[in-house]
A and B are shown apart, each in its own frame.
Chain A
Amino acid sequence: KAGVTQTPRYLIKTRGQQVTLSCSPISGHRSVSWYQQTPGQGLQFLFEYFSETQRNKGNFPGRFSGRQFSNSRSEMNVSTLELGDSALYLCASDSGQNTEAFFGQGTRLTVV
Chain B
Amino acid sequence: GESVGLHLPTLSVQEGDNSIINCAYSNSASDYFIWYKQESGKGPQFIIDIRSNMDKRQGQRVTVLLNKTVKHLSLQIAATQPGDSAVYFCAETGAAGNKLTFGGGTRVLVKP
Nearest chain B CB to A69 CB, angstrom units? 18
Beta-carbon contact of B99 and A58 below 8 Å: yes
Contacts of A90 in B (CB 8 A): 43-44
B1-19 with Cβ < 8 A to chain A: 1, 6, 8
Beta-carbon contact of B43 and A42 below 8 Å: no
The verdict on A48 contacting chain B, using a C-beta distance below 8 Å, is yes
Contacts of A94 in B (CB 8 A): 98
Mask: chain B, 15-57; 1 = CB below 8 Å from A; 0 = not: 0000000000000000010101000011111100100000000
The verdict on A64 contacting chain B, using a C-beta distance below 8 Å, is no
- Interface size bracket, B side: 20 to 34
CA distance A51 to B103 in the complex (A): 28
CA distance A98 to B97 in the complex (A): 7
Other contacts beyond A33-B99, A58-B99, A105-B42: 11, CB < 8 A: A6-B43, A43-B102, A48-B99, A50-B97, A56-B99, A96-B98, A98-B32, A101-B46, A103-B44, A103-B45, A105-B41
